[in-house]
Structure 1
Amino acid sequence: MLQFKTLELDDKEVFMKYLGDYDFNTYEYSFLNLYLWRKYCNVEYTILEDSLIIKKTEESKGTVFMQPIGYSEENLEAIISKLLEYKEKKGGMKFLFSDIEEPFLKKLKEKYGDAVQYYEDVKNFDYIYEADKLIKLNGDKLRKRKSQYNHFVSSYAYNVKDIHEDKVIKDCIDFSQEWFNGQSGNHQLECEVEGIKDILYNLKDLNGLGMAVYVNNVITGFTIGEIVNKNMAIIHIEKGDISYNGIYAFINRTFAELYLKDIVYINREEDIGIPGLRRAKLAYDPIKLEKKFIVDIRRELQ
């Protein structure tokens, strides 16, 4: 039976060997993202047929595999066979794969036909934006966001600091903990706060980017992202004190302007089925929603 190793920071070199120039349209396969959520999702991995196999466990889906990374036409069937064997022996796995993008789904359908069962994971579709639009905020659809940004700029004595400074890192950790204390606590949010601490302490090793916003020298929000290839950046964390009107519009635009002006697309992740979050993400006029799929393969139909 396959043996899996718990994801740790020292595993980054292994992951980068297989990820290389990030070839995904969604954020799920980013090492920074996997490290951020490694405790909540119990992220583990193994090497099978010289391919990287990532396994995680989510409350809504149970234990699932992500797309094998580094597979070839010659070894894909052998990989799938071993993963199906693991699923059967382990028991309790409802699905084989999650976080599957359309190209890999197409590949599976070509090889396995009707044995492939798949579902659109709608609440986990990624919101993709044009970086230039998030910086300029031009057009009727973004008028309200621009007004919020302008309100913040004209109303507060603010300054912006890079997140790599030791004092800023401490401020961000304290801010995220205070933010968590103000929420209706749950395991996911608790793990998120712990993950934020971990990535802030190791931001350089993770190639993360970030900034914090201060008003009258008091931190009011921060954001963390990364550039995964020449075309796409991902925003992983965005926290703000909503008592400062326009804080999120300011963080969104300023981070893109200062750090991502040479990037074509910005991935702002999913809405996880929360109506308010969906409205907020749609309000920034995404160029597309990148689909993700939950997939199973039924042996009896192969």
Structure 2
Amino acid sequence: MLEFKPLTIEDKDWMSVYYRKKDVSAAQFSFAANYVWRLAYPMAVSEEDGFFFAKVQIKEGYSFLCPIGDGDLDKAIGKIEEYCRENGLPVRLHGILEPDKEKLEQIYGTRMVFKNNRDDAEYVYEREALANLSGKRYHGKRNHIKRFMDNDWGYEPITEQNIEECVSMQREWCRQNGCASDDDKIDEGCAVMLALRNFFKLGFKGGLLRQNGKVVAFTIGEPVGNSTFAVHFEKAFSEIQGAYPAINQLFVQSEMEDFRYVNREEDTGSEGLRKAKLSYHPAFLLEKYTAELIG
């Protein structure tokens, strides 16, 4: 039977091998992302018979990633079935991409019930579109960036010399945005801090913006798959006009030349986030499904 252990930093190398094999644009297939969100979504992992298994604690109980590996997916799912049966758990999967959904439908037919939650869809953009912001539909973005650049400003990659300024900015951002009284912001704030504190160990890339010498925006991301760069976090002070579109464009221009796509993750159902993400005109939405085995 599968034996799960809590995710630790020591799992990075072997898990990353499986994620590289997966080679998809989904931001969830990242050890670094799993690691920094582990306080909000505790993950336990297992490796058996050439497959990687992950069990995640969610509000409803536990859910599993679709097994990743080479070999018989039917047998791999069977191991999850056995584990759930022995532990009195429902067989529940999440983060299922369309190709895996099709495989699972072939195996289980109507015994596996799928749900597609629009809030979980990841926004994927053409890198060139975000780097250039060309054409009428990006006119407003270019104007906001111009206003930001009318002031004394500078862009820098995040380094050992300036990362503590990002930590200080994150603390100030949380104070200004009421993180202490909002559970979702607390969870995200913890994830951002873990990303900053383990930035180099986890292989992140990042950039920051200064205005009049002060850090007013920063962003953190990493490659996922062979052709996509995922932006995991982006923070700016809302009173600094143009800081958000400026850090977005400059980070893409500076760090993503070798990639075709930029994944800016899901909107989690936030109306404001959805409007902002759609305003950049995604190339496509990466749909993800949940599933539960019945009968």
TM class by shorter-chain length? over 0.9
How many residues align? The count is 293
**In structure 1, how many angstroms separate the alpha carbons of the residues matched to 2:17 and 2:121?**
27
How far does residue 102 in structure 1 lie from its aligned partner after superposition? Answer: 0.3
Give the match for residue 88 of structure 1. Answer: 85
The residue aligned with 2:157 is 162
Aligned position for 1:65: 64
Change in Cα spacing, 1:141 to 1:88, as seen in structure 2 (3 Å) is farther
8 Å CA contact 1:126–1:290 kept in 2: the answer is yes
- In structure 1, give the amino acid aligned to 2:209: V
1:173 maps to 167
Match of 1:241 in 2: 237
Query: Is residue 54 of structure 1 aligned with residue 54 of structure 2?
Result: yes
CA distance in 2, matches of 1:86, 1:105: 21
- Counterpart code for 1:159: G
Shift of 1:86: 2.5
1:85 is displaced (CA, Å) by 2.7
* 2: CA distance, partners of 1:36 / 1:187: 16
Counterparts in 2 of 1:87-126, with a 5 A limit?
A: 87-91=84-88, 93=90, 96-126=92-122
Deviation at 1:72, TM superposition (A): 1.4
- The C-alpha deviation readout for 1:17-70, integer Å capped at 9, x for no partner, is 3223551221111111101101110011011322110111223x4310012111
Q: CA RMSD in A?
A: 1.7
Gaps of 5+ in 2: none
Q: Secondary structure at the match of 1:32?
A: helix
Amino acid at match of 1:186: D
Equivalent pair of 2:52/2:67 in contact (CA under 8 Å): yes
| Deviation per residue, 1:223-257 (Å, 9 max, x gap) | 00112243100000000001110110001000000
SS of 1:39's partner is: coil
Specify the SS of the correspondent of 2:57.
strand
Whether 1:142 aligns to 2:138 is: yes
Q: Which residue of 2 aligns with 1:207?
A: 203
CA offset at residue 201 of structure 1?
Answer: 2.6
Stretches of 4+ aligned residues off by more than 4 angstroms: none
Structure 2 CA distance for partners of 1:38 and 1:17, relative to 1, 3 Å: same
Q: Deviations over 1:177-216 (max 9, x none)?
A: 2222233433332232222222223222222100111111
Residue 98 of structure 1: CA displacement? 0.4
Distance 1:191 1:6 in 2: 18
- 1-side partners of 2:12 and 2:67: how far apart? 17
Query: What is the CA-CA distance between 1:164 and the residue it aligns to?
Result: 1.8
2:262 equivalent among 263, 266, 279: 266
TM-score, reference length from structure 1: 0.92
Aligned to 1:290: 286
Q: What letter is aligned with 1:257?
A: Q
Q: Distance in 2 between matches of 1:229 and 1:292?
A: 16
DSSP 3-state at the match of 2:54: strand
Return the offset for 1:278: 0.1
- Please say which of residues 24-33 and 188-197 is displaced more in the overlay: 188-197
Q: Name the structure 1 match of 2:29.
A: 29
Q: Are positions 1:193 and 2:189 aligned together?
A: yes
Equivalent of 1:252, from 245, 248, 257?
Answer: 248
